């Protein structure tokens, strides 16, 4: 299965000096990476220069008309052929002729569902769509609804898991922009198509590339700073999914700091990745600051529940040092060390002086040398005899 990246923007082909494409996904309509019509509550397209005579919608249906389905959603097996219908309604006052075709889907960086541009050949699920009209065009009278039959043929070698595409209706008009240039406006509305191919499937939510930065007024030891936490969330599995995300700052020993930033991670088609930057304010420097990211996977809209919803937790740390306090502490320790050295030096000098004084006093009080008297040698009694 091809991996669609959110940075894969639709390409615009130049017509005259400029061209512009407008796309709405209906129903419900979502933003895309191109300037888009604003959806009305009933899923109709309304362009930047809104004209009541130029409105239409496309929605899933059957051979009798709209069925109330939001999307085309199928569980399929390789080689299966599906027959279905799309209802195209002209809410304008003039007849409109549409090009009808299939396109591959991807997610934009803001999490919206989008489709490849008209001049980009599909290479994934968009190629599975085939419309019965010979010229792939459809004319709809004002106030009328036309049903568009199509087939979807799943390849025999289709990879298991989720695939996404869109049934696109488009109409092209010539216009002049504010600079007086001739432009061709390609207005498009599409209905989403989701397919899940039978086989081994897995949810592969990953949190990657976590970086933490701490900033504060270094010279003010009583000023709080803020943590900036950057991270990437990737769908490395083969199921589309969403997630609940939370970012928390922590001090050493896992002590939570500030308020956790919570939010929903929107639908992620397989291969999609989003990058986020979250800021947590009012954090005092705690020497080592950790940013912890938690993403709990959940089923995407109109998808079956996930078998594994174990939260994915990743973290990274950075230094958050109160430099003024550290410098003051270092200075205080230095002063105390000098004072201790001086005290020891004075004590050693006093001891040396006391020892010298005691030695001198002991020498002055020493008694005179002892004078020994010769003892008389006893007489030899033998001599007298």
Q: In the structure, what pLDDT confidence band is assigned to residue 135 with cuts at 50, 70 and 90?
A: low
DSSP state of 252: G
pTM of full prediction above 0.85: no
342 pLDDT higher than 90 = no
Q: In the structure, what pLDDT confidence band is assigned to residue 103 with cuts at 50, 70 and 90?
A: very high
DSSP state of 365: T
CA proximity to 103, closest of 126, 73, 136: 126
Question: What is the rounded average pLDDT of the residues 196-217?
Answer: 94
Question: What is the rounded average pLDDT of the residues 205-230?
Answer: 91
Give the three-class secondary structure for 340: helix
Give strand ranges (E) for 154-272.
161-176, 182-197, 205-215, 225-235, 241-251, 255-268
Question: What is the rounded average pLDDT of the residues 110-137?
Answer: 88
Residue 272 is predicted with a pLDDT of 96
- pLDDT tens per residue, range 77-86: 999 999 999 9
Distance CA 87, CA 83 (A): 14
Of 109-118, 170-179, 252-261, give the lowest mean pLDDT range: 170-179
Distance CA 300, CA 167 (A): 20
Residue 180 is predicted with a pLDDT of 85
Of 36-50, 281-295, 352-366, give the lowest mean pLDDT range: 36-50
Of 148-157, 360-369, 376-385, give the lowest mean pLDDT range: 376-385
| Residue 337: φ, ψ to 5° | -65, -40
Residue 25 is predicted with a pLDDT of 64
- pLDDT tens per residue, range 18-66: 334 556 665 433 323 323 333 333 344 444 444 566 799 999 999 988 8
Alpha carbon of 80 to those of 120, 133, 151, 162, 326: distances in Å? 26, 21, 10, 15, 70
Q: Dig out the tokens for 227 from the structure.
A: 């943590």
Question: What is the rounded average pLDDT of the residues 251-269?
Answer: 95
Q: 39 or 192, which is more confident?
A: 192
């Amino acid at each position: 299965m091809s991996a669609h990246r959110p940075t894969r923007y639709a390409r615009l082909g130049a017509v005259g000096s400029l061209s512009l494409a407008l796309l709405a996904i209906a129903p419900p309509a979502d933003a895309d990476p191109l300037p888009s019509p604003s959806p009305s509550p009933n899923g109709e397209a309304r362009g930047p220069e809104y004209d009541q005579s130029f409105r239409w919608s496309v929605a899933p249906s059957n051979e009798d008309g709209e069925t109330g389905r939001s999307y085309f959603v199928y569980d399929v097996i390789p080689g299966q052929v599906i027959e279905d219908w799309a209802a195209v309604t002209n809410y304008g006052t003039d007849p409109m002729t549409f090009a009808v075709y299939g396109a591959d889907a991807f997610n934009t960086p803001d999490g919206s569902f989008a489709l490849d541009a008209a001049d980009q050949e599909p290479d994934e699920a968009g190629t599975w769509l085939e419309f019965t009209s010979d010229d792939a065009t459809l004319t709809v009278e004002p106030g009328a609804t036309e049903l568009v039959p199509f087939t979807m043929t799943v390849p025999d070698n289709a990879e298991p898991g989720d695939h996404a595409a869109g049934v696109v209706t488009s109409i092209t008009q010539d216009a002049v922009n504010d600079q007086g240039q001739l432009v061709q406006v390609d207005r498009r509305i599409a209905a989403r198509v989701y397919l899940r191919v039978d086989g081994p499937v897995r949810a592969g939510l990953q949190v990657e590339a976590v970086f933490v930065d701490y900033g504060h007024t270094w010279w003010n030891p009583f000023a709080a700073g803020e943590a900036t936490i950057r991270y990437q969330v990737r769908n490395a599995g083969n199921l589309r999914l969403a997630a609940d995300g939370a970012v928390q700052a922590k001090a050493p020993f896992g002590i939570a700091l500030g308020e956790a930033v919570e939010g929903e991670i929107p639908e992620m088609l397989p291969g999609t990745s989003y990058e986020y930057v979250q800021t947590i304010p009012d954090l005092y420097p705690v020497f080592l600051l950790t940013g912890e990211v938690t993403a709990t996977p959940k089923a995407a809209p109109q998808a079956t529940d996930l078998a594994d919803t174990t939260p994915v937790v990743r973290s990274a740390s950075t230094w958050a040092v109160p430099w003024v306090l550290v410098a003051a502490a270092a200075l205080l320790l230095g002063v105390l060390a000098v004072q201790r050295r001086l005290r020891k030096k004075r004590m050693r000098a006093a001891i040396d002086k006391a020892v010298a004084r005691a030695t001198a006093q002991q020498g002055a009080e020493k008694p005179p040398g002892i004078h020994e008297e010769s003892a008389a040698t006893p007489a030899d009694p033998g001599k007298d005899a």
